[in-house]
Amino acid sequence: GENVEQHPSTLSVQEGDSAVIKCTYSDSASNYFPWYKQELGKRPQLIIDIRSNVGEKKDQRIAVTLNKTAKHFSLHITETQPEDSAVYFCAASMYGGGSYIPTFGRGTSLIVHP
């Protein structure tokens, strides 16, 4: 099955700095890569995603990049703010059983210091 590695497990930055979270996956059949944000005590929520036919996608201060050859993808947050503090999960999804089923990374706890 698919295996997703996520690094770092904890990331501490100062407000205004950039933050980068990296993930690798093992199965080349994966072709959809969502990122979820989970605030303390809350449910995970989708913040951005990228499909395998795209190398980069941006949405305001967040961007994702994908390198299919190397099987890795990254989340970039610029101008971090305290409200960005949360756990971020990457996932690699492949089509199966009529849907895209995700395998999640272990999560990165991002702490933004004001």
Partner 1 sequence: DAGVIQSPRHEVTEMGQEVTLRCKPISGHDYLFWYRQTMMRGLELLIYFNNNVPIDDSGMPEDRFSAKMPNASFSTLKIQPSEPRDSAVYFCASSPPLGTGLFNEQFFGPGTRLTVL
Residues 42-101 that bind partner 1 (CB under 8 A): 42-46, 49, 51, 89, 93, 96-101
Helix (H) or strand (E) holding 70: none
- Residue closer to partner 1, measured from CB, 52 or 78: 52
User: In the set 68, 74, 103, 111, which binds partner 1 (CB under 8 A)?
Assistant: 103
- Please tell me whether residue 22 binds partner 1 under the rule CB under 8 A: no
Q: Whole-number minimum distance, CB 65 to partner 1, in Å?
A: 18
On whether the CB atoms of residues 110 and 9 are closer than 8 A, the answer is no
Torsion angle in degrees (nearest 10) through CA of 88, 47, 18, 107: 10
Q: CA–CA distance from 57 to each of 13, 20, 65, 82, 106 (Å)?
A: 23, 14, 7, 23, 23
User: Where along the sequence are the contacts to partner 1 (CB under 8 A)?
Assistant: 32, 34, 36, 42-46, 49, 51, 89, 93, 96-107
